[in-house]
Amino acid sequence: MSSAKTWFKIVLVLIFLGMLGMCAIAGAGVYFVSQHVDTQRVSSGGALKQFDEALARFKDQRPIIEIDADENVRKVRDLADLPTAPARATNLVVMAWDPDAGRIVNFTLPLWVLTMGQKKVDLGIGAESLDLQRLNLDVKEIARVGPQLVVDILTRSGERVLIWTE
């Protein structure tokens, strides 16, 4: 009889430890997102200023990929043709503006996170998904070429998304 009680206690402890582990993982996820996502209300003029400041670091550099208002994708520069940068890119930064909500979202994602599981970048933004996987961007190549302007999108409804590496 005592053997059954011992096994019951062991099972209860394992269940408790499993639940504690799941809570720790959920807490780590919430902490990660809180450290990498910044949302703020801004006027359209303020959003334009933030986009101009972000683009200023790339001066006359064209994005690697262009997406027009009809969501047609055109690769402007091939990553394989770009030289290896002295400093590798470590983060993928997404800046998205929603004029209807008057919000701008800045999202920084370490590139090492993108290498876990998939070899291509697949990033969901807002209610609709911006599928970078169909753009055929290899995370290792993005890191190799260093800081680059990846995508600059302006939709017909005025939404804007800027993606770059740093």
CA distances from 124 to 99, 107, 121, 132, 161 (A): 18, 11, 10, 9, 12
> Judging by DSSP bridges, how do beta strands 91-98 and 103-110 pair with one another?
antiparallel
Q: Where along the chain do its domains lie?
A: 1-37, 42-165
pLDDT digits (tens, 9 = 90+) for 27-83: 887 887 777 788 889 998 999 999 999 999 998 888 998 877 677 778 888 888 889
Mean pLDDT across the chain: 83
Does position 121 have pLDDT exceeding 60, yes or no? no
Q: Is residue 52 within a helix (H) or strand (E), and if so which, with residue range? A: helix 44-56
Residue 126 pLDDT level (bands cut at 50, 70, 90): very low
Contact 164, 107 (CB under 8 A): no
Which residues are 101's β-sheet partners?
Answer: none
Is residue 12 over pLDDT 90?
yes
Is 93 in contact with 111 (CB distance < 8 Å)?
no
